[in-house]
Amino acid sequence: MPVELNHFIGGRLVPGTSGRFQDVYDPTLGEVQAKAPLATKAEVEAAIANAQAAFPAWAAQNPQKRARVMFKFKELVERDMDMMAVMLSKEHGKVVADAKGDIQRGLEVIEFACGIPHLLKGEFTEGAGPGIDMYSMRQPLGVVAGITPFNFPAMIPMWMFGVAIACGNTFICKPSEKDPSVPLHLAKLMMEAGAPEGVLNVVIGDKEAVDTLLTDPRIQAISFVGSTNIAQYVYATAAANGKRVQAMGGAKNHMIVMPDADLDQVADALIGAGYGSAGERCMAISVAVPVGKSTADALIEKLIPRVESLKVGPSTDPSSDFGPMVSAEHLAKVKGYVDLGIKEGAALKVDGRNFKLQGYEKGFFMSGCLFDNVTPDMKIYQDEIFGPVLSVVRTESFEEAIRLPTEHPYGNGVAIYTRDGDAAREFASRVQVGMVGVNVPIPVPLAYHTFGGWKRSAFGGVNQHGPEGVRFFTQVKTITSRWPTGIRSGAEFSIPTMR
């Protein structure tokens, strides 16, 4: 019998009242394991009210005390790591080792947030003018919200609420209704770590919940990760309602393969970056761009046996390279793109559409697909497929290879594999993409740097975590002070200067 999940509002689990539910599947078995309540507008407003009530006292806590909560939260997440990884794996479908990586990358942002006293220091200028001192301070915004995707149900919520809460804000997380159990558990751990009730709330919902967050005047900022069309909607709607917005969208990440690259290293990198987590990553490499015919021919020769030998299996099997897709609908969508690629004239070198796993026939499985001779006019090149499908686009020159990711509408991540330092340096400087890897297939920055793409991969202009995250979740106040000396100089009618 499926378990009925709850919201987490005001420090406790709260049953849903809407009567509407989203099925939460075990993708390995293809069976419903839980029912997630879809929040009403009133339930979201209750979460906002709880967060608003908690904000003044939490913001008034000194940064050291907030940091201590983060230290304790980190300890508790590490304590529950194995349990949460299995929980995540059974709802999403990614293998347990990958699920642990999901949690760990989120935890690294929590570690960054533990240094919040240093990060919130302002600036001070003594003697900016005659008897005048000037200083600035960073203060929290108030109630902020995060809308997070199904593919990283631990990492991305922690990317958002870790920095926001450490800065003194209160937070409402609207996780994907496909796999909400880990975000709910993280909220419970935040309370166990010592955060007051209402500091972190989790509300499961669909468009009704999202629109409430985007339009309610008590929400000061929205952080979003998901598909590009929804990211653009979130950005436009929230900005029109006077909110700060960072909205991260889709991707079509290229890997440029130069003729001097070590092709065994390249092939291994493409297998991991293209097919890991069944390709359900916004930083997955979905396009390989070999330069020169001989490079392309040799690369295809190395890729085909590697793709054919991928081990697709249950998410809890430690020997599986990757597990099932998140849902039957998404599986059908990805297979539809493979069908389309064939119609468009691409050469399907490895076909994983008909993969079946004995004993798990109802699971949402497919194996890896590999296309050669893909061209930029094809939909399978233009669109984000978000599945275990790698496209090879052949190029004749370095200039053509730079142009492909630069001119693509998405600009999340890109990589180049080469032994030529000059070529790598020029590529990194010229390519119009937000995150660049040099002999690194998935260039996700560490927590003390910042994550964000360009073009239709990001809306709002402010990146996630790192120093940019602190700037997003705080506002600067600048104070100019002068203490009277007892000498009056009369009224001044011109604009004050420091001369």
Residues 47-80: tens digit of each pLDDT: 999 999 999 999 999 999 999 999 999 999 999 9
* Residues 215 and 279 placed together within one structural domain of the fold: no
Residues of the chain with pLDDT under 70: 486-489, 498-499
**What is the pLDDT, as a whole number, of residue 491?**
76
The per-residue b/e assignment along 329-366, b for 16 or more CB within 10 angstroms, e otherwise, is ebbeebbebbeebeeeebebbbbbeeeebeebeebbbb
Told to judge if 282 belongs to the known catalytic residues of this protein, a careful annotator would answer: yes
Q: Which amino acid is at 295?
A: T
Is the residue at 217 inside a domain?
Answer: yes
Q: What is the CATH number of the domain that holds 313?
A: 3.40.309.10
Minimal CA–CA distance to 9: which of 60, 61, 59, 45? 45
Q: What is the CATH number of the domain that holds 204?
A: 3.40.605.10
**What is the pLDDT, as a whole number, of residue 1?**
84
**What is the pLDDT, as a whole number, of residue 461?**
80
Question: What pTM was computed for the model?
Answer: 0.95
**Six-digit token string for 155:** 């990492």
Q: State the virtual CA torsion across 262, 263, 269, 272 in degrees, nearest 10.
A: -150
Is the residue at 448 inside a domain?
Answer: no
Is the residue at 450 inside a domain?
Answer: no
* Residues 257 and 196 placed together within one structural domain of the fold: no
**What is the pLDDT, as a whole number, of residue 490?**
72
Minimal CA–CA distance to 212: which of 42, 336, 64, 90? 42
**What is the pLDDT, as a whole number, of residue 486?**
64
* Residues 205 and 351 placed together within one structural domain of the fold: no
* Residues 12 and 40 placed together within one structural domain of the fold: yes
Is the residue at 488 inside a domain?
Answer: no
* Residues 373 and 385 placed together within one structural domain of the fold: yes
Q: Residue holding tokens 């935890």?
A: 107
**What is the pLDDT, as a whole number, of residue 368?**
98
Is the residue at 451 inside a domain?
Answer: no
Q: Residue holding tokens 């975590």?
A: 465
Is the residue at 366 inside a domain?
Answer: yes
3-state secondary structure of 263: helix
**What is the pLDDT, as a whole number, of residue 495?**
75
**What is the pLDDT, as a whole number, of residue 492?**
73
* Residues 8 and 87 placed together within one structural domain of the fold: yes
Is the residue at 110 inside a domain?
Answer: yes
How is 113-159 classified by DSSP, letter by letter?
HTTHHHHT---EEEEEETTEEEEEEEEE-SEEEEE--SS-TTHHHHH
* Residues 101 and 202 placed together within one structural domain of the fold: yes
**What is the pLDDT, as a whole number, of residue 487?**
59
* Residues 240 and 119 placed together within one structural domain of the fold: yes
* Residues 188 and 233 placed together within one structural domain of the fold: yes
* Residues 224 and 287 placed together within one structural domain of the fold: no
Catalytic residue among 114, 167, 173, 282: 282
* Residues 464 and 367 placed together within one structural domain of the fold: no
**What is the pLDDT, as a whole number, of residue 40?**
97
Q: How many folded domains does the chain comprise? A: 2
Is the residue at 234 inside a domain?
Answer: yes
* Residues 212 and 289 placed together within one structural domain of the fold: no
Domain limits for position 143: 3-249+457-479
**What is the pLDDT, as a whole number, of residue 129?**
86
In 351-429, DSSP assigns E strands to 369-372, 389-392, 410-411, 413-417
